[in-house]
C-alpha cells in the first residue's frame, strides 16, 4: 500500500456538511444585507452618498429627490448675496418662530429650516409675498405631499467657490413661478400659506447643500439636520447689496438683443427634419 491517504466515507460526509454550511451562511448573509441602509463612504458613493439613505425617507416623498441635470448645473446663476424671503430684505416685519436646529419632540427630530412668520402671528401673514432669497434657477415647483403644501426650490451658485446650493420655500398658498425659470433676488415667487390647513400660516425656509432637488424630503431627521444649512447663517455670510438685483433687467435686455440679432439675419433654408435652435434658449 502506498503512502497516499484516502478519505473515509465519514470524513467525506463531514466535509460536505461543512461546505454546505458555509454556502448557506453566505446566502443568508446576502439575503439579510440591506443595500439601502448599509453605510457608504461619501467619497466613493457619488452625490447620493452625502444624503440620508433612501430607506429612512417616507416612500411617498421619494419622487421629490431628483438629480439636477448638466444643463441646470450650467445655467445656475452666480448670486450677489442673500436676503430675507419674508418681510423686508433685511427681515423686518417677520420673525423666526422655529429656528434651524431646534429640537421638536412632537415631530421627532431637529428642525432643518427657519419657520418665518409675520409679526402679527397666527394667520395674519396668510397670502403675503414670498421672495427669492437670491437670484436663482427654479428647479422644482409642485406639491410633494399634502402636509408640505406648494413648494418652490431654487438653485444658486455661491460667489466664493462656485458651489451650487439650493433654497426651499414650503407651505406656500400660491406658487407663481414655473420650472426652468430664472428669478432675481427679491423677486416674488409665491405667497405664504398653511400647507392645506395643516399649520398656521408661515414660510418653511431651508438652505440645502446638495445638487439634488430634495423637495418634500423629511424636514425632521432623528440623526440631525442632514445636509441642510442654517438659513440665517447663510444670509449673514453672504449679505445682499442694498440696491435691488439688476439680474432680471439685464437678462431681459440680453434676450431682446439676441432676438434682434437672430431676426436681422437672412433666412436660410434648413434641411427637412432639422430642429431649430435659437440663442435665447441658452441665455
Domain boundaries, the chain: 70-237
Length of the chain: 283
Cell of 197: 390647513
Fold of 70-237: Glucose Permease (Domain IIA) (2.70.70)
Q: Tell which wins on pLDDT, 217 or 170.
A: 170
By three-state DSSP, how is residue 78 classified?
strand
The C-alpha atoms of residue 182 and residue 188 are separated, in whole angstroms, by: 12
The reported pLDDT for the residue numbered 45 is 32
The pLDDT of residue 272 is above 90: no
Segment 190-234, tens digit of pLDDT: 999 998 888 889 999 999 998 888 776 654 555 566 788 999 999
Q: How many CA atoms lie within 13 A of 219 on its CB side?
A: 28
The pLDDT confidence band at residue 119, using thresholds 50, 70 and 90, is confident
Percent of residues, the chain, with pLDDT higher than 90: 34
19: left (phi over 0), alpha (psi -120 to 50) or beta: alpha
The reported pLDDT for the residue numbered 206 is 93
The pLDDT of residue 43 is above 80: no
Most confident of 140-144, 182-186, 252-256: 182-186
* Helix/strand number for the chain, H first, E second: 4, 15
Q: Tell which wins on pLDDT, 177 or 38.
A: 177
63: left (phi over 0), alpha (psi -120 to 50) or beta: alpha
The reported pLDDT for the residue numbered 188 is 96
Cell of 4: 497516499
Amino acid at each position: 500500500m502506498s503512502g497516499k491517504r484516502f478519505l473515509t466515507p465519514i470524513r467525506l460526509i463531514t466535509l460536505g456538511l461543512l461546505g454546505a454550511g458555509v454556502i448557506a451562511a453566505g446566502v443568508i448573509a446576502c439575503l439579510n444585507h440591506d443595500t439601502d441602509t448599509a453605510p457608504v463612504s461619501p467619497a466613493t458613493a457619488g452625490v447620493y452618498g452625502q444624503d440620508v439613505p433612501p430607506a429612512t425617507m417616507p416612500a411617498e416623498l421619494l419622487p421629490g429627490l431628483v438629480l439636477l441635470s448638466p444643463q441646470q448645473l450650467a445655467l445656475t446663476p452666480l448670486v450677489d448675496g442673500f436676503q430675507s424671503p419674508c418681510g423686508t430684505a433685511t427681515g423686518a416685519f417677520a420673525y423666526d418662530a422655529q429656528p434651524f436646529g431646534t429640537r421638536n419632540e412632537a415631530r421627532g427630530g431637529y428642525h432643518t429650516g427657519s419657520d418665518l412668520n409675520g409679526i402679527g402671528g397666527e394667520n395674519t401673514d396668510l397670502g403675503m409675498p414670498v421672495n427669492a432669497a437670491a437670484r436663482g434657477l427654479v428647479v422644482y415647483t409642485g406639491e410633494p405631499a399634502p402636509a408640505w403644501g406648494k413648494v418652490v426650490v431654487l438653485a444658486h451658485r455661491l460667489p466664493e467657490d462656485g458651489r451650487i446650493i439650493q433654497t426651499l420655500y414650503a407651505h406656500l398658498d400660491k406658487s407663481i413661478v414655473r420650472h426652468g425659470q430664472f428669478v432675481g433676488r427679491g423677486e416674488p415667487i409665491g405667497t405664504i400659506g398653511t400647507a392645506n390647513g395643516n399649520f398656521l400660516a408661515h414660510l418653511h425656509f431651508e438652505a440645502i447643500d446638495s445638487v439634488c432637488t430634495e423637495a418634500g424630503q423629511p424636514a425632521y431627521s432623528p440623526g440631525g439636520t442632514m445636509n441642510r444649512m442654517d438659513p440665517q447663517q447663510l444670509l449673514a455670510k453672504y449679505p445682499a447689496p442694498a440696491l435691488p438685483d439688476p439680474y432680471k433687467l439685464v437678462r431681459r435686455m440680453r434676450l431682446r438683443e439676441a432676438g434682434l440679432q437672430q431676426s436681422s439675419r437672412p433666412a436660410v433654408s434648413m434641411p427637412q427634419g432639422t430642429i431649430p435652435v435659437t440663442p435665447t434658449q441658452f441665455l
